[in-house]
Chains A and B, each alone.
Chain A
Amino acid sequence: MFSILIGLLLAFFDYNLVVFEQMKIEDERSQEKIVLSGLELDNETCLSAVSIKNKGTIEVRIRAIYVANSTTTTLLCDPSTYMDTHIAPDISLNMSLPTGISFEPDAKIIVATERGVKTKEYEALLVFGPPKPEWEYDPTKLYIGPLMLQFDAFWYRRTRGDGTLDPNDPWHPGWSIPKGFGYCAWNITIMNIDDRNITINRFSTFNVVPNDSPSNQLPWYLEPTNQTGLTQFLPVNETRNIIYIWADPKEPSGTNRPQKMTLPECTCMVFLTFFGVFHEHDGTTTTYAQTIPFEAAITVVG
């Protein structure tokens, strides 16, 4: 009777032991996480190696690599048969692949561990990276059109009554200007990002519009770099400074007066308006116009 009881107890404890072992396996499995981090090509047509990173908290062993395309899912290999595929946590491993496996951008690479945890990714994403968004927001480069404004390169400076720049006053950052500053010029930095050269004319303006009283807006007209044609040439892919000085479009006679900052303490929006022509590749010109709103306002301070 005693031996029978012993046998029963042993069987029961043996059962408990195996259940505990299985729970341990499940626990280890839940700690596994792998990601595909790269795919190498040998001559842009065949796969040569795959990189796998262990993102889990336990060591893994890679046991299978598959390729799935639109027509079939194939077991490529068990890399553990020709190399050590144990990967410690937070470590990457580069595993060579059998030769002759064609690169198919739309196919998926699937990697599985010994505990049956998988990861999969498209081959194209691993080789070329994720697609970049078509437009990345950059508040320093806000533009809709061929001229791109650099918002961090924006200044003002005192002018004399005849419109010439005051040599005793340097350029100040343009985001705030003292109230009653008087005659001043604005200097902005733009880049022609079109594939055609542009010539802007004397009607291009720098408009300051008070938020509280938009009708009191003040325009500053272009100071042309070409004093003969009263224009400014903006070549492709080059950065240029544009200076605005005048209260009216620059006249050939040079009788203009400069614009004066007369606004009270306020916050203002700024709009840049450009008029001119595109120089087409065939030598002709076409009309060009563009408005650039500033991302932030300038402030007239006391």
Chain B
Amino acid sequence: MTTLKIHSNCRALSPIFATLIILAIVTVLFIPVFVWSTGLTAETKSFWHISGEIATERIVIEEVNLRGGIQNCTIYVRNIGKTAIIVDDVFISSPDGSLNIYEKADFNTEPDSVVQGDLMTITVSDLGGFNPVGNMTYTVKVFTSRGVGDTYQVVA
């Protein structure tokens, strides 16, 4: 009959190796947590940053040159916020509810971007099929690249 005898003073791994192995396992397990948490942090920081920019982006339409029978329009926009702005869209709505949309390619801005306190001149040189009628009231809306806008009513 064979007897299994355990030698109590013999060890499979040294304490150093055991510690290293534990460290390695912990490190390997922590990598996805680290990746997730840093991504989350970056996204959160980015969210706060963009929210801050939007909160401080503010424009005012000072004047609009839109007259009946004239196929162009000039809009004067002032940046009164902390964030530099770029105008992306211009909407002109008629009294009958029809909406005319002009995207970046349809108008020129001078300058392209303005900082706080400066004036931007938007020139829509061709209103397309839209023909403003004299003495009618039109609503002009201007939106920046971040979706911040202002509204102005003008009598053509």
Contact = CB atoms under 8 A, between A and B. Distances in A.
Given A19-B55, A25-B58, A73-B63, A11 B44 contact: yes
Contacts, number: 84
A4 interface: yes
Given A7-B41, A8-B41, A19-B56, A118 B62 contact: yes
Interface residues of A, number: 33
Interface in A8-64: 8, 11-12, 14-15, 17-19, 21-22, 25-26, 29, 61, 63-64
Given A22-B55, A64-B119, A75 B63 contact: yes
Given A8-B44, A11-B48, A68 B58 contact: no
B76 interface: yes
Contact of A7 (B45, B65, B67, B76): B45
A31 B84 CA distance: 24
A131 B56 CA distance: 44
B81 A66 contact: no
Interface in B76-115: 76, 78, 80-82
B19 interface: no
Contacts of B37: 1, 4
A73 B58 contact: no
A7 B38 CA distance: 10
B41 A4 contact: yes
A63 B77 CA distance: 12
Interface string A89-122: 0000000000000000000001010111010000
Nearest to B60: A116
Interface string A111-141: 0101110100000000000000000000000
Interface of A: 1, 4, 7-8, 11-12, 14-15, 17-19, 21-22, 25-26, 29, 61, 63-64, 66, 68, 71-75, 78, 110, 112, 114-116, 118
